[in-house]
A and B are shown apart, each in its own frame.
Chain A
């Protein structure tokens, strides 16, 4: 009965409209924002898409579409210089990633955990390689290796890459740790675990997403570095980006596109695998 009475009362006229105006938080439905997104997509992704598309183009020039072919992939795979440079790049990237991740993760943890005299200036110094111009870093590295009489090659490239990568890892790990509940470590000690057990079973699993993100960053930073590598590589130690640039200087051929596409697919795969591992480890215990 009560419901009937309520309905019998004056009903406010409902506004008839197929698409009501977007509410203040519905950014996805605002015209000008859609435009900004479209521009971003065009300028960021169109070049990449065209790069990949023209790697399948059956033409010597990257201008018009002539038909589908895989012959430039075949060519790229049989270009021994390119292949050698690619493998060297992977080797340097792996070396640099492992070492800079280890150093950076420990550094990030140390900055999070400890208070010591001159901590502020120390932190500033660590982040220096992130802010100083790459060309200066490259020059510094080159003259340092020269002064120390270290022959330029794989070793000097790897050392330089570690030097500019580990601060990035430290920053990522440090920011991951800011959400850490320190009583977790205390609980672990309280339950009978040694400091090492506590680190491996409690602290490290918490750091892991940060470490993975930092390692990915270090890997890609190393893989595509041109400036510093150019300055610290010697004869016979050309890396993939340096090699591609030297090929492009002669002419932009679809072979370069093919090689670049392989690199894109590779980094994408690594990223996706890392993200998948990360999401799985979130639900599963790592401690034995």
Chain B
């Protein structure tokens, strides 16, 4: 974040299609200038609708959007200080790269020599200057995306909106583009708002993430906060891998809470909230450890049998089932170079975690 000035204010925005479909339900938050902000959620959660309302392609049913101090109601897309990179890239197929990038300047009457200079700069920014004369049909998907980026950035918008910009790229290229987008954002200093369903993408790129589910914003937080301190079962489950157990609050003693975890038993963990009754108990798979011997008593532990093993190269996923039928997923890093798995299906093992790594979720 360059500074804390609000660039986008989303005030009680709702969007309904017809009588029954609520695409966005009372979204209310601010995005700061220079921020890399991600709207994250499963498909159909309303994140794209929210982005399209920022761009001006949809009108909110209720509420108000303020961009750069200006209320956006009744302002057409061509008059907004934002530009968008479309999921399909929407590169004009009948124009060369150069003409695509210069389009937004030509239609608004920017003089030809200035257009030429700014197009050149924008193409250099995305490393596409060698392709200025090419037609879009002669470009790869990644190159087309760079054209779409340059075409939006050449307008010098206050905010750049990106709708699933990396979803059409293959895995390797996607990773490279993630880094490059972050670098680009830092060098131009423009606020980026990106829509994605890919949590890795959001976590690795954004300063702040809003997680949405069926139209509602569930949590807005920086990546690490979102991962380590999700505020509800949905966010806990959607971001990364998570072991979720059902449980009940059995009592509170000072800054500790005693939980009755179904199928596991009584566990005591540090807690400062006000949870009561039924709660969700969540632990990340990589916070857990597997041992052949019994773990120390200051750790939460349970004994179970390995039912499944999944090998990912850098790590392995071990699924452990205890005698009450509770299944736990543990991530084991493959630290040493060996093809012999440390654990085998059917092994009886101890699983344990630090009580401080336990999340108590009330929603």
Contact = CB atoms under 8 A, between A and B. Distances in A.
Given A205-B94, A285-B95, A287-B99, A191 B76 contact: no
Most buried by B among A181, A187, A205: A187
Contact of B88 (A183, A190, A191, A193): A183
A281 B78 contact: no
Interface stretch (A13-21, A194-202, A220-228): A194-202
B86 interface: yes
Interface stretch (B103-111, B234-242, B286-294, B335-343): B103-111
Given A192-B78, A192-B108, A186 B86 contact: yes
A181 B94 contact: no
A230 interface: no
A201 to B, nearest CB: 7
Contacts of B104: 191-193
Given A183-B87, A184-B92, A287-B103, A191 B155 contact: yes
Contacts of B108: 192-193
Given A186-B57, A186-B86, A283-B135, A192 B94 contact: no
A286 interface: yes
B145 interface: no
B55 interface: yes
A81 interface: no
A202 B92 contact: yes
B87 A201 contact: no
Place the interface of chain B in its size category: 20 to 34
Contacts of B77: 186, 189-190
A187 B82 CA distance: 12
Interface string B76-92: 11100011101110101
A23 interface: no
B59 interface: no
Contacts of A194: 78, 107
A190 B94 contact: no
Interface string B299-336: 00000000000000000000000000000000000000
B83 A188 contact: no
A265 B12 CA distance: 68
Given A187-B86, A189-B78, A192-B78, A281 B151 contact: no
B78 A285 contact: no
A190 B107 contact: no
A183 B90 contact: yes
Interface string A154-192: 000000000000000000000000000101101111111
Interface residues of A, number: 25
A286 B83 contact: no
A287 B92 CA distance: 10
A282 interface: yes
B358 interface: no
Given A183-B87, A183-B90, A192-B78, A201 B55 contact: no
Given A190-B78, A191-B103, A192-B155, A183 B135 contact: no
A231 interface: no
B96 interface: yes
Contact of A191 (B83, B87, B99): B83
A288 interface: yes
Contacts of B90: 181, 183-184, 186-187
A190 B55 contact: yes
A285 to B, nearest CB: 4
Contacts of A184: 90, 92-93
A201 B94 CA distance: 10
Interface in B200-237: none
Contacts of A192: 78, 104, 107-108, 155
A72 interface: no
Contacts of A190: 55-56, 77-78, 82-84, 152
Given A181-B90, A193-B107, A187 B84 contact: yes
A206 interface: yes
Most buried by B among A189, A191, A201, A283: A191
Nearest to A193: B107
B59 to A, nearest CB: 14
Nearest to B87: A183
B94 A206 contact: yes
A201 B135 contact: no
Contacts of B86: 183, 186-187
B94 A281 contact: yes
B61 to A, nearest CB: 19
B126 to A, nearest CB: 16
B54 to A, nearest CB: 11
Interface string A32-59: 0000000000000000000000000000
26 contacts: A183-B86, A183-B90, A184-B93, A186-B77, A186-B84, A187-B86, A187-B90, A187-B92, A187-B148, A188-B103, A190-B56, A190-B83, A191-B78, A192-B78, A192-B108, A192-B155, A193-B104, A194-B78, A206-B94, A285-B94, A285-B99, A286-B94, A287-B92, A287-B94, A287-B99, A287-B106
**What are the nearest 8 A-B pairs in CB distance?**
A191-B104, A187-B90, A193-B107, A183-B90, A189-B77, A192-B108, A285-B95, A183-B86
Given A194-B107, A201-B103, 18 more contacts: A184-B92, A187-B90, A189-B77, A190-B56, A190-B82, A190-B83, A191-B78, A191-B103, A191-B104, A191-B107, A192-B155, A193-B104, A193-B108, A206-B94, A284-B94, A285-B94, A287-B92, A288-B106
